[in-house]
Amino acid sequence: MEILAYGVQSDERPLLDAAMERHQLRMLDVFLTADTAPLAAGFPVVSSSVNDALDSEVLTLLAEGGTQLIAQRSTGFNNIDLNAAAKLGLTVARVSYYSPYSVAEHAWTLALAVNRRLIRSVNRSREFDFRLDGLMGRDIHGLTVGVLGTGKIGECFARIAAGFGTTLLGWDVAPNPECEALGMRYVGKDELLADSDLVSLHVPLLDSTHHVIDRAALALMKDDAILVNSSRGGLIDASALVETLRAGRLAGVGLDVYEEEADVFFTDRSAQGITDDVLARLISFPQVLVTSHQAYFTRTAVGQIIDATARNIDDFALGRTNENTLVPAG
């Protein structure tokens, strides 16, 4: 089949080439928007990335151009208007599973980096400033770690936390027995936020979890707590987080996602800068570390994502659905 893949990172190209060798594949590094959707005319399959914008307008343009399948290369699909896709007769598939270790390990990378002030330390050493002033962190051993969302990724994060020798608190719609076996105690969200020294977010972005960390939630957290988000940007009210940091609260914040990241992340803005004042302010705080939605970006995880995407396309070509199908053929 003829496939047009949008938002392809350079490291993805050889993996996509190998997985799609039986198809005719064209790869673009630009994102899918209303302006770039016409490029897909004549391609029955479009493969999208998590920061592509597949709203009703874009989906209509794709359908008019002959696209039949949207094969998203991610687990999240909040960027796709599924109702519009169904009305247009478009099939939509995603990747329901890839290595949870990739995200959990990156979440801990962020937590450890902000705790031990690694970015400030590295910047200093590049200027041959080897003072220790302002670099003191804390032992993770003995801290209380709160995990919001204890699915596959949250469980992996909790296993790493248990290895450090922490007290584990969890919050979810239902307890995970594997986490309970690690000694995790499930509590209400307010209790978790108030008692935790480190809070990591691993819940999906739903109406019920949008801004689950809002101004009131931030007020409950300890002044010296660490907050990490490697799930979805919309889980945190970024403006409220800026206010909290300006008040001198929170010892560290590690963000791999941001609620308005779509027009910024995965792009080079080094020459022109960014116009998002909230993101610029967050990055300016010395205790904040922002990475560009790269938690999933390991060879293992990306390989699994691409293999699953190839299977979704093969199944569609054979008239089959699978566990990754969000909208079946109309």
Give the catalytic positions in this structure.
232, 261, 293
Q: Which two tokens stand for residue 109?
A: 């990378």
Looking from the CA of 143 toward its CB, the CA atoms found within 13 Å total 23
- DSSP-assigned states of every residue in 121-188: HHHHHHTT----TT-----STT-EEEEE--SHHHHHHHHHHHHHT-EEEEE-SS--HHHHHTT-EE--
Angstrom CA distances, 92 to 35, 45, 67, 85, 296, stand at 21, 10, 11, 7, 21
**In this structure, what DSSP letter does residue 32 have?**
P
- The H or E element spanning position 102 is helix 100-115
Q: What's the rounded Cα separation, in Å, for the pair 182 and 105?
A: 18
